[in-house]
Amino acid sequence: MHRLLPLIAALALAACATTAPRPEHATPQIFQIEPVRPVAELLPIALAATPPVEQGEFRPADLVELATLDPTIKLDIRYATARNFLGTPLYSQARAFMQRPAAEAVMRVQRVLAKEGYGLLVHDAYRPWYVTKIFWDATPPDKHNFVADPATGSRHNRGCAVDLTLYTLHDGRAVEMPSLYDEMSERAYPTYTGGTDEQRRLRELLRRHMESEGFAVYEFEWWHFDYRDWKSYAIQNVRFETMGGGK
């Protein structure tokens, strides 16, 4: 347990410094819930837990950092800040990794979108398993469609899922979609028929280009895309601060 204390302390300090107000006072740009249990209580439990044992053969992990492949991809890693649905930092570093084939597919999407005046804004990619456990344990059961069950792991844990949206190249601003990122409502569904014509057009533009490179959208979240080879990779629980190249 003593090896986990530096990470717990770092995240606790970040939470104290940047924790966002609770849902009733949150800014309109961030969707938040009231956790079932405080994240500060769940963090040491999750760090001490063990990911599920998987059977079968898997490809060797080859997680690469998106920023090193294409610096024109913008990052807004919400879980490294308090600007997320739990209102407290979950990552110690704002970084985005994916298995190499998935990362290269994202790069191809970026190049095609640039011809139409857009770029990709990434909110999350590889996610250590312990964070998935925190999400599940902190989220009310009636909203579990929006978080992965740690008993089976998330495709984020395998380095084959990415949460993203679009930004406009001319001003660098994120576009407006039918819902907020991580919003736990029907507005987040990729089939939601509300919102404006322009919001739906941009949602479909993102989906069309991601699907053309082997990604599939998650049925409850327009921003979440799974790479076609996700079953080929095992669940990972490597923390960002142990991965090379970070600050």
Residues labelled catalytic: 221
> What is the distance between the alpha carbons of residues 79 and 96, in angstroms, rounded to a whole number?
11
Find how far residue 8's CA is from the centre of its chain: 20
Neighbours of 214 (CB within 10 A): 15
What phi and psi values does residue 52 have, to the nearest 5 degrees?
-65, 145
**Phi, psi at residue 41, to the nearest 5°?**
-80, -35
> At residue 216, what are phi and psi to the nearest 5 degrees?
-125, 135
Nearest to 86 by CA among 159, 169, 143: 143
Q: Residue 194: beta bridge partners? A: none
- The label of the residue with tokens 């961030």 reads 30
Tokens of 240: 């960002």
